Amino acid sequence: GVMTKTQVDLLEGYEGKCVLTKKQMEGIIEDFLARMEEGLEREEQQLKMLPSFVEKMPCGKEEGEFLAIDLGGTNSRVVRLALKGGQVREMVAHEDPIPKELMVGTTKELFDFIARQVKTFLGKHNTLAQSGQGKGGKIPIGFCFSYPMKQTGLANGEIVNWNKGFDIKDTFGKDLVELLEGSLSEYKIQGKVFAMVNDTVGTLAAHKFIDQDTQLGVILGTGSNAAYIEGKRRITKLQGGETKREEDKMIVNIEWGNFKSSRLPYLEEDREVDERTPNKGKQHFEKMISGMYLGEMVRLACLRASAEGNLFGGSQKDKLQQAWTFPTSLVSRIDGLGPEKLDQVKKELSAALDIPRAEITHGCARFVSRLCQLVGDRSAALAATGVTAIYRYLMQSKQVSPNQRFVVAVDGGLFEHYPRYPERMQQTFISLLGKEQAKRVELVHSPDGSGIGTAVIAAATAR
């Protein structure tokens, strides 16, 4: 039940790459900061640094009843909520998985799917329609759209590109708010979209509503991305548009998923994961971090170990050979079991890969267990490196003072479910910032942040 020589060698290779040294992470930060500056200056840079047109920062006094529609990478959610007295009240949410075929279908099919979902939701929880809030008794809506969009105001925007497995050709050049309102009205839902925000922006806003020291919104779910509060004069590419003279700040959606650097610990498996996506060559950073890709990464490494190092007896590769069959939740469970409970790891693998238990040796289980741990560690270390880069940026530009709390609101299934993910990130903060400073970085899970924040922003606008 020991690992084969090749398996040991393969693991050493992964270890050498996935365990990041402080020096490597500092190099990544240096590149990240350079890309941020470029993105603030010019359009169409590697980091898109997208202006969100959210200029009035949430203060906790926002009020009203809203419907938040949150289109994610895996799920679509409808949330009805009321904001009052600095609290989120009466929250009712309904989530549906987005059918796979709609991710590569037509724009109209996707928006009609959302409209049907809203229709069903309102059939069950319809109090908003009677509340008569918003213009002409229409239901006030906040739309959370977790893809990059080019906006010239809070309630408009066109898609820049799809990612996370979505590949819909006829969305480009169309206003997303018009598309949503159009589909809603076809389904006889009288709604008005007051704000359309990216999920990172929503997460930041939702937490700022309850904690003024929130500096960052981060998504660690199907995809990965972050948003922060920027001084408007520093967004030098920002000219025209519907900006408010009286405000001097704006939330910027970094679109950090597309970050790329020769200093990133890039494996052969990363290249292979990339090959299997519709957005080949894009979203480098995201593909090393987020939930959509970690399982596929582990599958490819197992496939290699099977072919080269006799993993799973080198046979029974049928299930393992199918792309996207190794879910990140499995990586998560195996990692969570740790290096001791190898019998349970065997059980997980046997069930997931249709391999008889007897054919999974102790050595195999140990290999996969360590592999999952490495992939999880690398994800958390890179996410934390990204957060540290923005922390440094905000300190250096004196936009956050050194004695202020640095609260980071995080939403997404990976952060929520992956074992010890926050602790792993914290380890990286300690390594990069030292124990004392690292304490100032507070990672907070902001459940439903995307949807709530969209409502908070819509509330500030609707007033």
Residues near ligand ADP (CB under 6 A) are 72-75, 146, 221-223, 291-292, 328-329, 332, 412-414, 417-418
- Per annotation, catalytic residue among 35, 77, 299, 333: 77
Residue with tokens 């990059």: 148
Q: Is 143 exposed, middle or buried (0-12, 13-18, 19+ CB in 10 A)?
A: buried
Any catalytic annotation for residue 199? yes
In the complex, minimum distance from the CB of residue 329 to Mg ion, in angstroms, rounded to a whole number:
16
446 binds, among ligand ADP, Mg ion, none (CB under 5 to 8 A by kind): none
414 binds, among ligand ADP, Mg ion, none (CB under 5 to 8 A by kind): ligand ADP
Q: Where are the alpha helices (DSSP H) in 172-263?
A: 176-186, 199-210
Q: Using the minimum distance from each CB to ligand ADP, give the nearer residue, 400 or 410.
A: 410
Q: At what angle do helices 362-396 and 342-353 cross, to 10 degrees?
A: 90
Contact 232, 248 (CB under 8 A): yes
325 binds, among Mg ion, ligand ADP, none (CB under 5 to 8 A by kind): none
Give the residue among 265, 194, 205 at the shortest CA–CA distance from 56: 205
- Per annotation, catalytic residue among 52, 70, 76, 199: 199
In the complex, minimum distance from the CB of residue 224 to ligand ADP, in angstroms, rounded to a whole number:
10
Residue at 46: amino acid letter: Q
Sheet of strand 50-51, all strands in order from the earlier edge strand to the far edge: 50-51, 249-253, 224-231, 214-220, 406-411, 441-445
Q: Using the minimum distance from each CB to ligand ADP, give the nearer residue, 65 or 274.
A: 274
Q: Using the minimum distance from each CB to Mg ion, give the nearer residue, 199 or 269.
A: 199
Q: What is the end-to-end Cα distance of the chain in Å, rounded?
A: 67
Any catalytic annotation for residue 77? yes
In the complex, minimum distance from the CB of residue 326 to ligand ADP, in angstroms, rounded to a whole number:
11
SS3 of residue 218 by DSSP: strand
Burial 46-64 (b: 16+ CB within 10 A, else e): bbbbbbbbbbbbbeeebeb
451 lies in the site for Mg ion, by CB under 5 A: no
Any catalytic annotation for residue 31? no
In the complex, minimum distance from the CB of residue 121 to ligand ADP, in angstroms, rounded to a whole number:
17
72 lies in the site for Mg ion, by CB under 5 A: yes
In the complex, minimum distance from the CB of residue 414 to ligand ADP, in angstroms, rounded to a whole number:
4
Q: Using the minimum distance from each CB to ligand ADP, give the nearer residue, 222 or 428.
A: 222
Q: Is 451 exposed, middle or buried (0-12, 13-18, 19+ CB in 10 A)?
A: buried
Q: Using the minimum distance from each CB to Mg ion, give the nearer residue, 181 or 199.
A: 199
328 binds, among Mg ion, ligand ADP, none (CB under 5 to 8 A by kind): ligand ADP
Tokens describing residue 333:
């469970």
Give the residue among 96, 200, 184, 186 at the shortest CA–CA distance from 141: 184
Q: Using the minimum distance from each CB to ligand ADP, give the nearer residue, 74 or 350.
A: 74
In the complex, minimum distance from the CB of residue 453 to Mg ion, in angstroms, rounded to a whole number:
11
Report d(CA 27, CA 7) in Å as an integer: 30
Q: Using the minimum distance from each CB to ligand ADP, give the nearer residue, 309 or 451.
A: 451
- Per annotation, catalytic residue among 76, 146, 369, 446: 146
**Piece in contact with Mg ion (CB under 5 A), picked from 7-15, 98-106, 127-135, 446-454:** 446-454
Contact 193, 179 (CB under 8 A): no
Tokens describing residue 18:
């996935």
In the complex, minimum distance from the CB of residue 30 to ligand ADP, in angstroms, rounded to a whole number:
29
Pairing of strands 64-71, 406-411: unpaired
One character per residue 181-210, x = contact with Mg ion (rule: CB under 5 A): ------------------x-----------
404 binds, among Mg ion, ligand ADP, none (CB under 5 to 8 A by kind): none
Give the residue among 137, 118, 210 at the shortest CA–CA distance from 452: 210
**Piece in contact with Mg ion (CB under 5 A), picked from 18-26, 217-225, 315-323, 356-364:** 217-225
Question: Which residues are at the interface with Mg ion (CB under 5 A)?
Answer: 72, 199, 221, 450
The residues assigned a catalytic role are 77, 146, 199
